[in-house]
Chains A and B, each alone.
Chain A
């Protein structure tokens, strides 16, 4: 079983729809992250959470919101999807205190907004 699980793996939706992407982890890590990946642009940080009561905006948070329901669960919502939110979305975790620790990624969700 994957340590970091994202659902769904693929989603096609229409402009204006509300979408939720879910992430769960069995690694016991406190820190969780949402990134989006666009061809040639690398991974860009959307939101991150260092524990259940902590939510922080990343580089590109506009148009997105998150919820940290439990240590193991971190969901990303698009309140009103638009076509330029079409991208590959990754959830990641890391163990704790040091910001230099490596990230563990899920397999991604390919989102297409028509």
Chain B
């Protein structure tokens, strides 16, 4: 069956370090992948989109990689700040299908 896996355990890191979150998928051939940020009591907010033919995408302190051989996307936040603490969701779409979300990983950045 199709599955999207994100680490359900919270990731705790020190301010200033690089946070790396993982999104693995099975039995999908995604056309593209998106990352969202969700704060408590709020809806998800779109951050980045990366297509299957793109290896890497950057936006300010954010970097996303997409490895279709490993069936994995990595989401990096460099120089992390306490304000980056949130839950991060990956979502992917196979051609012609709807967006499917992973369960999210909670990031805690300690000052």
Instruction: Please give the residue numbers on chain A whose beta carbons come within 8 Å of chain B beta carbons, in ascending order.
Output: 4, 35, 40-45, 48, 58, 90, 92, 99-100, 102-108
A100 touches B101 (CB 8 A): no
Given contacts A102-B46, A104-B46, contact A45 B102 (CB under 8 A): no
Among A44, A92, A102, which residue has its beta carbon within 8 angstroms of that of B34? A102
A40 touches B8 (CB 8 A): yes
Interface size on B, residues (CB 8 A): 26
Cα(A44)–Cα(B46), bound, Å: 17
Query: CB-CB < 8 A to A107: which residues of B?
Result: 41-43
A-B contact pairs, 22 of them (CB 8 A): A4-B43, A40-B8, A41-B103, A42-B4, A42-B101, A42-B102, A42-B103, A43-B44, A43-B89, A43-B91, A43-B101, A45-B98, A48-B98, A90-B43, A99-B96, A100-B32, A102-B49, A103-B44, A103-B99, A106-B43, A107-B41, A108-B41
B43 touches A100 (CB 8 A): no
A92 touches B49 (CB 8 A): no
A108 touches B42 (CB 8 A): yes
Contact with A along B84-108 (1 / 0, CB 8 A): 0000010101001111111110000
Query: CB-CB < 8 A to A35: which residues of B?
Result: 101
Cα(A69)–Cα(B40), bound, Å: 30
Query: CB-CB < 8 A to B4: which residues of A?
Result: 42
Query: Shortest distance in angstroms between A107's beta carbon and chain B's nearest beta carbon?
Result: 5
B45 in contact (CB, < 8 A): yes
